[in-house]
Amino acid sequence: MYKSMETIIKKAEILIEALPYIQKLTGKTVVIKYGGNAMINDELKNSVMEDITLLKYIGVNPVVVHGGGPDINKALSNFNIKSEFINGLRVTDSATMEVAQMVLVGKTNKEIVSLLNQKGGKAIGLCGIDGNLIECEQYTTLVDGKETDLGYVGKITNINSKVLDIIAKDEYIPVVAPIGVGKDGRSYNINADTVAGEIAAYLKAEKLMLLTDVEGVKTSKDSKEILSALTIDEVHNLIEDKIIQGGMIPKVLGCIDALEKGVGRTHIIDGRIPHCILLEIFTYKGIGTMIMKDKVLYHNNEKL
């Protein structure tokens, strides 16, 4: 009986720890980039959907942007279409674009909407074509010093965020597939991290959260210790010192870009941890790496 009471009291303490964060975030927008293993593992899928639904019910306005690489790869394989990547981006000819749009908008997006609705949320699926939500132009990248065309890969030129703002501030949860539209009316595939960052910036979101398959930024290349909070200057120093390397560089630079455009805080968190969103947002220390302009506390007990 005594141990049972201790457990109950501990649960109450966890709720009290979350209180100042709930007070700070009520009515604010949180943009969540959903991808990686959290989209593949059923247990993790459920925990992410529960986290997002809970955010909505306590007064936070979540906006979800999702990837879908594994689903696209599987569909392309079924159609015997070869996948090719340059500088981490998928080369997207017309056939690949048709499959990517079919999968992202028609399958992945609707599955996420359905899962959120099953948890009691009211989700609405969108892509960049809807209301010209994501306007873009063709993206090129440097290969051996030359501008290289990647096909129907988009570079965002504008986010028509009004529709997202209206939906998110009402009782609904917008779920956005990373497909943009060009001036010619053609569809373009866009990196989901980029879409999430730009949407967060246009909405002046309080938080941008990137769910990844890594724990966060580590103290050194071989360390297991995670840096829980970094400023923009500290991130640049870590890149210069080659502590931040490889695929982590575009993620942290995307966070910095969002901060410089008005987002309050950005987070890189491990989507392989159940209820990772709640653990990062509502605990004093969090579980991933938070990047911010300056280390300004939400409240005195916060540990940065």
Annotated binding site for substrate: 68-69, 90, 189
Sign for the pseudo-dihedral over CA of 128, 132, 134, 138? positive
Neighbours of 79 (CB within 10 A): 11
Query: Which residue shows structure tokens 């200057």?
Result: 233
Alpha helices in the chain (DSSP H): 2-25, 42-57, 69-78, 94-103, 109-118, 162-169, 192-203, 232-240, 248-260, 276-281
Quick one: angle between helices 69-78 and 94-103, nearest 10? 120
CA-CA distance, 242 to 268, in Å (whole number)?
18
Structure tokens at 22: 């709930």
CA-CA distance, 237 to 231, in Å (whole number)?
10
Binding-site positions read 68-69, 90, 189
CA-CA distance, 120 to 54, in Å (whole number)?
9
CB 34 within 8 A of CB 48: yes
**Burial of residue 46 (number of CB atoms within 10 Å: 0-12, 13-18, 19+):** middle
Contacts of 60 (CB under 8 A, 6+ apart): 22, 25, 26, 27, 28, 29, 30
